Amino acid sequence: MSRIAYVNGRCLPHGAATVHIEDRGYQFTDGVYEVIAVRHGVLIDGEWHMQRLQRSLSELQIDMPMSPAALNVVLKETVRRNRFSIGIVYVQISRGVARRDHPFPNPPVRPALVVTARRTPPTPAKTIDEGVAVISQPDIRWERCDIKSISLLPNVLAKQAARSQGGFEAWQVDGQGFVTEGGSTNAWIINNEGSLVTRPVENAILNGITRRRLIALAKAQGMQVEERPFSLEEAKSAREAFLTSTTAFVTPVVRIDDAILANGRPGSQTLALRQLYVDFMAETAT
């Protein structure tokens, strides 16, 4: 069965789905996006994703193309038409189509909306059993990483650098030597006291929905969570480390650059946190 995409009010075969060449998302990366995990037709933490989407649009002064309730219907219908049990739905909203000019169109144009959905394969058992490696990179991104913008070229370069060096992810490091986040994930460590440590919500990072959910789940289990900056050196000497995202869930990190963490195997606390999140998704989708 061919995939189906939603483009500006129409459901189309994925291969025939197009946008105008003067869409400002194409010309200027003038837009935002969300990626939402789907389990058996249920959008995992869909309300939180919708809230973040609205915030990102507001920060860029782009109107919602329809009400949140109507957009939720579009997302679920796109998932239904693509007929899968486990996957993701992707939503992108740009400022719209206008003659190429840097300032916002005046009068404003209608925002453009694209929605796609696809099944995703399960995380390879090897990834969880053996963990992954990350490299460090200077953080060269702009100062509004809290906006989930489609302007992702620095993230692309960071991810490619990691892949070129045999790594899974690149942890970006600010001018003070503190880890901000990965190219497409949030970064975490577990210190010697067993506390979960992750960068606080600020302009330097995106407030990941999986990050947000894991904090809530961990606190409900009585775990200590510290939202504070941590240095690259602290990360390399941590008891455990992991990363989170909509597609990676909770993935153990066993090497940072040339530093092997602990015994070089995924830590028990990280694996317990991953199971906690997987159980949450299963319960949400029932």
What single-letter amino acid sits at 241? A
- Note if 76 is an active site residue: no
What gap in Å lies between CA 246 and CA 209, rounded to an integer? 7
Tokens (6 digits) for 248? 């990676």
Residue matched to tokens 């989930």: 148
Residue matched to tokens 């037709």: 41
DSSP secondary structure, the chain, as one string? ---EEEETTEEEEGGG----TTBHHHHH--EEEEEEEEETTEETTHHHHHHHHHHHHHHTT---SS-HHHHHHHHHHHHHHH--SEEEEEEEEES-B--S-SSPPSS--PPEEEEEEEE-PPPPHHHHHH-EEEEEEE--S-S-TTS-BS--HHHHHHHHHHHHTT-SEEEEE-TTSBEEEESSSEEEEE-TT--EEEPPSSTTS---HHHHHHHHHHHHTT--EEES--BHHHHHT-SEEEEEETTTEEEEEEEETTEEPTTSS--HHHHHHHHHHHHHHHHHT-
What gap in Å lies between CA 242 and CA 246, rounded to an integer? 14
Catalytic position from the list 76, 126, 148, 219: 148
Residues marked active site are found at 148
